Amino acid sequence: MPTTNTIVHGVVLLNYVGSIGYDLLYVRVPPEAIRFNTYGGRMKFLTFWDMLLQGLFFSICLLNDIVGTNEPNPKNTPIIRKVKDTLFASLAFPLSMFVGLTFWGLYAVDRELVFPKVLDKYFPVWLNHVMHTNIMIFVFIEMIMNFRSYPKRKTGISILAAFMACYLVWIHIIHHYSGIWVYPVLEVLNLPLRIVFFAALLVLIVFMYLLGEGLNNILWSNQIKAVKSNKAKKRH
């Protein structure tokens, strides 16, 4: 009989698979909306990277429900559970929060900087919310539903920094070949301001990592103490 975890993870996974499929098959933006039709396609956007990542993460969650365990302190932690915990801590939570908050923050200031109004007739409102709102809601649900052991902070932040460095290199490759910045906000900034902008975003996403770690510590303080106590007993 399906558990609550299995049902929730299955529904969330279907949400991502269905939305990505709809985007690929039915969203057709004309050439005048040039950023959607230049070098890199949809893969130029961090939002799409995040959608694929969230789909992967909840696939792992579902697999862990079936062959792994969600117990806070299992005797032998399966590899799938270790992968799930590390992926949530280092990428799934901080990246979803980063994408959602930066998108809606810039949207509130001037939507033309991130999502020009011309796209409204081609890009459904519901799909926009799946990509920029649901991502935050679903990781919060996962945070509340299941305990996870965070990796060492150095490890988690290193994985996150490597991921963001890859994306930063990617958008510069796109600019090199197409002459266009992925996000309009970058076109209104000169080089020094772009450097400051990227540095500020790096600080923000690291803060998102620390936020996730802090929330996990608050929500699951008793379980964390039990895990630490169990590890101490094993060492002795």
How many domains are contained in the chain? 1
Structural domain span for residue 88? 4-235
Cβ within 8 Å of residue 156, ≥6 positions away? 86, 89, 90, 150, 209, 213
Q: Picking from 8-12, 14-18, 121-125, which range would have the lowest pLDDT averaged per residue?
A: 121-125
- pLDDT (0 to 100) of residue 205: 96
In terms of Cβ atoms closer than 10 Å to its own Cβ (0-12, 13-18, 19+), residue 81 is buried
Positive or negative, the Cα torsion across 8, 11, 124, 112?
positive
DSSP character at residue 131? I
Q: Is 200 helix (H, G, I), strand (E, B) or coil?
A: helix
* Residues 57-97 pLDDT 10s: 999 999 999 999 999 888 888 999 999 999 999 999 999 99
Q: 179 in the Ramachandran plot: left (φ > 0), alpha (ψ -120 to 50) or beta?
A: left
* Residue 213 or 114, more confident: 213
pTM: 0.92
